[in-house]
Every structure is written in structure tokens, then in C-alpha cells.
Structure 1
Amino acid sequence: MLAAMSPMPMSPSLWLWVALGGAVGALCRQGLVLALAPLVVRTGFPVTVLLINVLGSFLLGLTLALAGRGVWPEAARLGFGTGVLGAFTTFSTFSADLDALIRRGEGGAALAYAGLNVGLGLGAAVCGRLLGGRL
């Protein structure tokens, strides 16, 4: 089964789609981070990254379902799924936020943040897959 999951060589044009998608995803993430910064400052909770990761999980589930049904071509799946959503979602910032909560002595908030990211992210991915299967 793992051999079937190994990456296939990509053409130069597919690399370009992933790179361009990554630029778009990073810009979208930074835009949301800046737009929602007052909310994070007011609450002290990294809600922006939580929202980004949950939305990204939903969109990835939807993308994979549509690509699996042949609705999206490989270039779109790679450009959007790997490029845009790979740069939009952020495990590294999630980890840094979690570390900051722990260092501030907010163990309950850290536990809630980790649980919400994983639980809501998985739930959102499943919802995206289900929606994609119905479209």
C-alpha cells in the first residue's frame, strides 16, 4: 500500500503550479493573521491559526474528494491542495503558539488549543470529503 502512495515525478509545469499556489496560500494566511490580530490580542488565544487550520482542513478534504472523482485535474489538485493549502495551513505556527501558551503557564488553554486544532481539523476534513462526494 505504501508503494502506491509514493510520489510520482512531477513535470516542471506542475512544480510551477505548486510554487504559485504556495505564494497565494502564504499571502492569504498572512492577510488573515493581520486582519484578526486584534481578536488574538483581546483574547490571548491563537484563534487565527485555529481558524486557518480548520478551514484549510475542510478545503483539503473537499479538494481530495473532487480530485479522487476526477472533477479536478492533477495540476489543480497540486496547485491548490499542495501549494495554496500547504502554505495557508501551518503546523509550525500551531506548534509555536502551543509552546507560548505552555510557557505562559496556560496549560488548560494549551490543551484546548491542541484538542481543537486536531479535533476540528479532522472533523472539517471529513465534512469536506463528504461534501466533495456529493458534488
Structure 2
Amino acid sequence: MMWTDVGLVAAGGFLGAVARYYVSKKIGGRFQSAVPYGTLTVNLTGCFALGLLVGADWGHAVSLLAGTGFMGAYTTFSTFKAELVALARQSRYGALIGYIAATYSLGIAWCYIGYCVGRSI
């Protein structure tokens, strides 16, 4: 492990965490719903961006900075799971099932679309 690699991941992680907070709050505040649209937006845009990065294959440094660092902090699996538990505790089963379905099906689709776009660049 090289310290430059650690620095790239740390810098990307800082920027990704800040971006996640901003986007999630902005979208979540705009759309009041049982479905947490802020987290859904962050995770779906992150799927597209990570697919784009993988498809484009811009090299080791970009992969560490943008893929591992930024996308690792920007997307949020733990928040997704906590929001699922909250929806279940509130007996909002329709929103819970819709959120799961949208996150996984659209996440895979957006990642593949990003990958295809990246390959064409």
C-alpha cells in the first residue's frame, strides 16, 4: 500500500461524503414521502457513476479517487438498510417493497447503462 493511494481514497471519501450529505438533504427536503428519495437518488446516481468509471477504465489513480474514495462515501448501503427498518417499524410495507425494488432493479440498470457509456468513451 502506497501513501499516495491512501491519500487519493481519503480525498475522494471526503468529497463523496460531503456530496452525499448535500444531495440527500436537498432531494429529501424537496420530496416529502415515506420513500427516502434522497438516499435513493444518491445510490442510483452512484450506481451510474461507478458503472461509468468501470466501463471507461481511466486507470488506477482515478479508480482509487473516484471509485473507491468518492463513490464509497457517496453511496450508502447502511443508510439504505436503516431506512428499510424504519419503514418496517412504521408498517409502511408498500413503500418498503417499492424502495427495495427501485434500489436494486434501477441500481443494476443504471450501473449497466453507466458501464456502457463508459465503454463508448
Q: Which TM class, normalised by the smaller chain length?
A: over 0.9
Gaps of 5+ in 2: none
Distance 1:75 1:125 in 2: 21
Gaps of 5+ in 1: 1-9
Distance 1:38 1:31 in 2: 11
Show the counterpart of 2:19.
Answer: 28
- Note the 1:1-135 alignment, pairs <5 A: 10-40=1-31, 42-67=32-57, 72-135=58-121
Please report how far the alpha carbon of residue 43 of structure 1 lies from its aligned counterpart in structure 2 after TM superposition.
Answer: 1.7
RMSD of equivalent CA atoms: 1.0
Please report how far the alpha carbon of residue 108 of structure 1 lies from its aligned counterpart in structure 2 after TM superposition.
Answer: 1.3
Give the TM-score normalised by structure 2.
0.95
- The count of aligned residue pairs is 121
Q: Percent identity over the alignment?
A: 35
Distance 2:2 2:95 in 1: 44
The runs of at least 4 aligned residues of structure 1 exceeding 4 Å deviation read none
